[in-house]
Each structure stands twice: as structure tokens, then as C-alpha cells.
Amino acid sequence: MYIYDEYDQQIVDQRVAQYRDQTQRFLAGELTEEQFRPLRLQNGLYIQRHAPMLRVAIPYGHVSSRQVRKLAEIARKYDKDYAHFTTRQNIQYNWPALENVPDILAELATVQMHAIQTSGNCIRNTTTDQFAGVAHDEIVDPRPWCEIIRQWSTFHPEFAHLPRKFKIAVNGSVEDRAAVLVHDIGINVVKNAAGEVGFEIYVGGGLGRTPIVGSLIKPWLEPEHLLSYLDAVLRVYNRYGRRDNKYKARIKILVKAMTPEAFGAKVDQEWAFTKNGPMTLTQDEIARNQQYFTAPAYEVFTGDDAEFLRQKLESKGFSRWLERNVFAHKQAGYAAVTLSLKPNGVAPGDASSSQLDAVADLADQYSFGELRVSHQQNLILADVKQSDLLALWEAAKAIGFATPNIGLLTDVICCPGGDFCSLANAKSIPIALAIQDRFDNLDYLHDLGEIDMNMSGCMNACGHHHIGNIGILGVDKNGSEWYQVSLGGRQGKGASLAKVLGPSFAQDEMPDVIEKIINVFVANRNGEESFIDLFDRIGAEPFKAKVYEGKPNRREKADA
């Protein structure tokens, strides 16, 4: 992974000093709440229902065991002994004291971490495929490009006060595991017929109140022009994005209003001035970043490990975990393992300090000391020898991270919701837990196959509910919490947005509603057909009929 040099370290250290000064001036009354708010947000500090919430950046989801131990130490020392992994591959603390944040940042800086631009109307953490560098279907490793983008976006002088937050995702594989189509800028790293690397640039995708799939505005961008082109996109957005209404301020609204063609033309016009300028990437700089993302010292195997193949047949529990939580690796004899942070009874994405410490040990023992965070809020050990899988499975079980549910109904993507977040209309965690509890039977769960269930506590869609096969959105109706269900969303290359099924439901109805949806699926399913394929085949009507059966015909209008 990327290692800071003296420059990177200096920038992060100066940020700690700057933020300490800002906090002191706020506490001394020299900065008003109104002035301090955007400043602290650019440093990931929210003031939430119960306490401040601090979001720490994990650039493109890569973290070392040493860093994880520091995260555990901070949870123990400054928080309630746990932390929460987010859908942007970051980590959040829910209970730090505002006056301790500068000290937390100083501790983070000692392990090359920070909270820079993890919130606020600026360029946020760039995200990518959690299997980058090891995926069997990878075309180009996206991580050097993510790091180049990280540096470009860090304290960019022109784009610190954009109309709204700005999210970039990069994918380098055949299957898109980075959800590039629902980002402000989505980048596919691709190869042309001649084998040269280039980028496809999508803009204006996003979830939130107005979900929309991004538009391709540059089908081929040569690598050296990446940053000057991004500058041009951001400059057009910074100057012309709406600032009068925060719900219409994302770049997607501008792209839609201008049309993607006109937006792309405006970007080209701007880019013509800066293309080939100083921001043109040099081969040295590309190579400098690539050197941090080379393959680790793999042992050479000719094929699958024989002992592993035998173990696989012996234990049903182990083989089920392999089927769900282990991902094919491009290196023979290795595998990528997902540790599930979605066991029954725990808020999705939460990890205690002792679990974090234990996971850091597993990374050291089995995966070259590195971990990744997925946008599905799980942890990945990317480089595990097949011959170590059984031992790793046993060790992961011991810390509660071996639930074999990756991609299944109970692998819920879920925001912190109304329990913690002051933006939320409704709680999300209790719903996720109730559904996990209802579908506790692993055999049944596995028979159901892959179902993405995504849940958000409000329109801001941190839980990505629009791209869940089953999406759940918390809504506020006259001060009480209701839940709107939508079906048919999907992420990846064929990304599509789910459609609202109908009027919303009370919290206690939700497990039954989900069960009815699953029953319709089971009753109509052909063989091993997946939920989303079945939905595409039979449509929403059979689901509606079952879910609203016997319900009075409420005239309530469904929120979009």
C-alpha cells in the first residue's frame, strides 16, 4: 500500500496543527458555530444526536494492521470501545468529545491516517473495488490511480467549497464492484485494442433524493491527462452547480439540466486551456505510485492446494463459508477472504476494539499485514493462502467475523440511522437486526441465493437503498418513523435504480413485509434463479399484491 514520504507526512501534520487551532478558537468563542461548522465538517466531525461523530479516512479502503491497531486504541481511549465501518470504506467513531479530536488526529497522523475531507462540500474519499489488485477479473489495478486522485483532491485550493459533496469511484475490473455509475465522477480503467490503458469517465451519477445513473462524457481519456481533465470537470461544477438549494446542488442536477452532451462539451472547452499544462502526469509519477501496489511476495503454487480441497469436502460449515465469503484470486493457491461484519444481533459494520486488534493479528498472520474495507461494510483479507483458509475460518469464527452471509439477504448495507445520525428520519439498525433475526436459518438463507438488501435512514441514501435488490428507506410521517420499500435495484455494470413498491410500513411490520417479499420470490422462482432475475421477469405486481393483501386502500402518495 501507499507509504507517506516527508511531504505527505508534513501536509497531514500541518492539518493537525491547523485543526487544533480551529478547535481552540471555537472553544474560546473566536469562531462562531456557523463558521466552525463547515471547517469541522471538512475534517469529518459531525455534531450528532448524542455526541460528535468523527469519520476517519481509509483511502480507497486500504488499511494496514498497524493502522487497525491504532484505530482500536482510539476506540478504547476516546470512544465506547467500538467503531463503525461506513459505505464509503471509512470508519466512524460515534462518541468522541469535541475537545479531544485534535489529539485523536495527532494519534492518527503517527500511522499516516487522517480525517481530511471525510465530510463537507468538498471532494471526499475516493473509493474502489475491495478486491483491487487481486481480483480474477481485473483489467488494470485501479489503486495507483486512486492514490494519484487522493493526492490531487487533498486540500485542492480551488475546490474546498463546492456546491455540495463530491464523490469519485474508480473500477478496474470486468465486474464493477465500485458502483462507479452512482458517483459524481465514476472512472473505469480500461484497455484498448492495442493494450494501452485509458479511462472511461462518467459524471452525474448519484443516489440521494434524486437517484440517477451517471453519463459517459469521455469514452477514452489518456492516463497522463487524468488530473487536468478532473480539474476541468470540477471547475465547471464549482462555477455553475446550483448553490440556491442543497437538494439540487449535486453535479447530477447540473449535468441533467445542461444535458450530458452539453456538459461534456463545456468541460472540453475548459480542458482545452489546461490540457498539457503542469498537471499533466509524468511517467515518473505514475511509476512512483505503481511501485506501492505491486504483488506481495507470493509463494508459487501450480494450482489449488490438495489438502485444502480435501478439507472443503469434510465440513459443511467450512464449505458454506468458502462459497459465500471467499473470492477467487488471480494468484494460484491464494484466495481473498471477506470477514462478515454482519453477524446476527450486531449493527452492520460495527467492530469492537478487541475485534479490531484480533483482525489486525489475522492480517499479520495470513495476509501480509494488510486489510481492506468494502463499501458493503465488511473487511477483506486479500491475500490468503488456500492452505491457511481452514485455520483462518476457525480464527474468524472465534471473533464473530465468519458469518457465511456475504451477498445474502442478511449482508445488509445499512447507515447508522436515527440511533446516531441527526439527519435521519428513522432508525435503520433495529430494522436490519430484526430482519437478520427473522432470517437466521443459514440453510434457508443460502437457498435464497444472492439478494442485496440496502437500507438508509433518510433521503441522503448513505445505505445506498436505491441500488439494493430490496431497498428500504426510513421516512418521517407526522413525526413517526415509517419505512418505504423498493424493489429491483442493482449495482455494478448494469446498475439500475429500484422502484418504490407502494405506501410505507410501520417499523413492527417490516420483518413480515420482507418475509412476504421473500415468499413471493420462493413461490415463483425457477430453479436457482436469483431474486433480481426473477424480479426482472415477473415485475413488481405479484410482490405488491402479496405485501398489501388485506391492507386498506390507503390513498397516501408514495414518496419518490
Partner 1 sequence: MLDQNPQVIIDREVVANRWVRVVANEEGVVSVPSEGAVLLSYQYWLSKQEELTLRAAAGHAVAVCFAPDDEPESLPVAANHFVMIACDFPAFTDGRGFSIGRLLRERHGFTGELRAVGDVFKDTINYLSRSGFTAFDVRSDKDIVDAAKGLDDFTESYQSSVAQPLPLFRRRAVIA
Stretch that binds partner 1, among 29-37, 187-195, 340-348, 432-440 (CB under 8 A): 29-37
Shortest Å distance, C-beta 215 to partner 1: 23
Residue 235 vs 324, nearer CB to partner 1: 235
Among 190, 197, 279, 391, binds partner 1 (CB under 8 A): 279
428 burial (CB, 10 Å; 0-12 / 13-18 / 19+) is: buried
Q: List Cβ<8 Å contacts ≥24 apart for 362-368.
A: 362/392, 362/395, 362/396, 363/64, 363/65, 363/68, 364/65, 365/395, 366/391, 366/392, 367/337, 368/296, 368/297
**Residues 6+ away with beta carbon under 8 Å from 200:** 187, 188, 190, 216, 218, 219, 220, 221
Among 192, 282, 302, 526, binds partner 1 (CB under 8 A): 282
Which pairing describes strands 45-47 and 52-56: parallel, antiparallel, or unpaired?
A: antiparallel
Q: What is the DSSP letter of 483?
A: E
Residue 160 vs 497, nearer CB to partner 1: 160
- Verify binding: residue 157, partner 1, rule CB under 8 A: yes
**Which amino acid would we find at residue 43?**
N
- Verify binding: residue 299, partner 1, rule CB under 8 A: no
What SS3 class is residue 383? strand
Set of cell numbers at residue 552: 386498506
Report CA 307 to chain centroid distance, whole Å: 35
Which pairing describes strands 215-221 and 197-203: parallel, antiparallel, or unpaired?
A: antiparallel
From 171, 261, 172, 165, select the one nearest 208 (Cα to Cα): 165
Residue 15 vs 375, nearer CB to partner 1: 15
- Verify binding: residue 410, partner 1, rule CB under 8 A: no
Residue 243 vs 544, nearer CB to partner 1: 243
Residue 268 vs 419, nearer CB to partner 1: 268
> Which residues in the 511-550 window bind partner 1 by CB under 8 A?
none
Shortest Å distance, C-beta 119 to partner 1: 13
- Verify binding: residue 219, partner 1, rule CB under 8 A: no
* Integer Cα distance of 213 and 550 in angstroms: 36
Shortest Å distance, C-beta 274 to partner 1: 8
Which pairing describes strands 168-171 and 185-191: parallel, antiparallel, or unpaired?
A: parallel
- Verify binding: residue 4, partner 1, rule CB under 8 A: no
Among 196, 257, 265, 277, binds partner 1 (CB under 8 A): 277
Stretch that binds partner 1, among 25-33, 329-337, 367-375, 446-454 (CB under 8 A): 25-33
**Site size for partner 1, by CB under 8 A?**
41
Residue 7 vs 552, nearer CB to partner 1: 7
DSSP string for 222-263: -GGGHHHHHHHHHHHHHHHS--S-GGG-SHHHHHHHH-HHHH
Among 45, 140, 187, 281, binds partner 1 (CB under 8 A): 281
Among 128, 151, 410, 436, binds partner 1 (CB under 8 A): 151
Site string for partner 1, 106-145 (x = CB under 8 A): ---------------x------------------------
Stretch that binds partner 1, among 2-10, 102-110, 129-137, 535-543 (CB under 8 A): 2-10
Residue 155 vs 548, nearer CB to partner 1: 155
Give me the phi and psi of 477, to 5 degrees please. -125, 110
Set of cell numbers at residue 531: 431474486
Shortest Å distance, C-beta 125 to partner 1: 15
> Which residues in the 31-60 window bind partner 1 by CB under 8 A?
31, 35, 38-39
* Integer Cα distance of 45 and 64 in angstroms: 23
Residue 12 vs 358, nearer CB to partner 1: 12
Residue 219 vs 277, nearer CB to partner 1: 277
Q: What is the DSSP letter of 549?
A: T
Stretch that binds partner 1, among 209-217, 271-279, 467-475, 490-498 (CB under 8 A): 271-279
Stretch that binds partner 1, among 158-166, 245-253, 258-266, 546-554 (CB under 8 A): 158-166
What sign does the dihedral 421-425-426-432 (CA atoms) show? negative
The secondary structure of 162-230, three-state, reads: CCCCECEEEECECCCCCCHHHCCEEEEEEECCCCCEEEEEEECCECCCCCECCEEEEEEECHHHHHHHH
DSSP string for 131-163: TTTTBTTBSS--HHHHHHHHHHHTT-SSSSS-S
> Which residues in the 220-259 window bind partner 1 by CB under 8 A?
227, 235, 238-239, 243
Among 4, 18, 530, 544, binds partner 1 (CB under 8 A): 18
* Integer Cα distance of 517 and 532 in angstroms: 12
* Integer Cα distance of 412 and 433 in angstroms: 9
Chain residues binding partner 1 by CB under 8 A are 5, 7, 10-11, 14-15, 17-18, 22, 25, 30-31, 35, 38-39, 121, 151-152, 154-162, 227, 235, 238-239, 243, 273, 277-279, 281-282, 284-285, 288
